[in-house]
Chains A and B, each alone.
Chain A
Amino acid sequence: MVDCAAMTENSARRPNSALWLGLLLAVLGVLSNGLTFLGFPASIVPWISLVLPVVGLAFVLLGLWRAFAQPTAYKGKIAGTIVAILSLVFLTAAVAYFWGARKLPHSAGAPAVGQRVPDFTLPDSSGQPVSLSQLFAAPPGGVAPKAILLVFYRGYW
């Protein structure tokens, strides 16, 4: 017959892998916001950046429960508490960034499809004034474009 109690006492407590996996997922969740710069499909990045820290926190809470409810089997009461606080911070940061990245003005007055865009003249990167109509002119030795793509971006890069 096997003496389970004696075996538990004598064997070392297991490292609390759920804790560290959870923390890793939470960190990866925060880092996932940079995936768009690596050419990753951008449309799923916002959801990955939320799901990873949530799943990470779930693992951390599992690890924390194991450390306190099964202290003879699992290590990590102190580490678990610290990791849990960190994971909460990462999740809060992930949610805050998610909210901020989507807090954009409605731009209801922007030109709609079928409407004519306002003309403008602005300096280019060498300081020369350029108008929208000029952009439709044929470049030297080339063909006039049939359309122009106007890309408005945030700047401050």
Chain B
Amino acid sequence: MAISVDPADTSANLRTKKGYTFPFLSDPKAEVIRRYDLLHPAGSPEGHDIARPAEFLVDRSGVVRWENFTEDIRVRPRADQLLAAARSLP
């Protein structure tokens, strides 16, 4: 599932446009983003607070089993990398 500071209607548009079926959650005040220490102050091109890109694979007990913090916004994990991480879980 995807989280960003975008409001619900922006995420709904993106979700429909791309045909995604997984949930998109809105964190407009970046409260959860801060709780996860992922805040990128003034990180958007216009200078708004946003999340830095990060991915966490969380098991049913809420424990992180795999995570990824890119060091370059142009570089994100590929689908096959994410699937490999998911398949490695028992």
Contact = CB atoms under 8 A, between A and B. Distances in A.
Interface string B25-39: 111000011011111
B84 to A, nearest CB: 12
A117 B36 contact: yes
B64 A112 contact: yes
Contacts of A127: 8
Contact of B12 (A42, A113, A125, A157): A125
Interface string A117-133: 11110111111001010
A122 B26 contact: yes
The 5 A-B pairs of least Cβ separation, nearest first, read: A155-B4, A109-B37, A125-B12, A122-B25, A155-B6
A86 to B, nearest CB: 23
Task: Categorize the interface residue count of chain B.
Answer: 35 or more
Q: A41, A108, A115, A149 — which one has the most chain B CB atoms within 10 A of its CB?
A: A149
Interface string B1-41: 11111101111101100000001111100001101111111
A155 B82 contact: no
Contacts of A155: 4-6, 10, 44, 50-51
B74 to A, nearest CB: 5
A154 B54 CA distance: 9
Interface of B: 1-6, 8-12, 14-15, 23-27, 32-33, 35-41, 43-46, 48, 50-67, 69-76, 78, 82, 86, 89
A101 interface: yes
Interface residues of A, number: 50
Contacts of B41: 105
A102 B71 contact: yes
Contacts of A33: 74
A102 B70 CA distance: 9
Contacts of B3: 122, 150-153
Interface in A63-100: none
Given A146-B59, A147-B57, A118 B74 contact: no
A45 B65 CA distance: 28
A63 B39 CA distance: 46
Contacts of B86: 147, 149
A116 B65 CA distance: 10
5 contacts: A104-B73, A107-B52, A116-B64, A130-B23, A150-B55
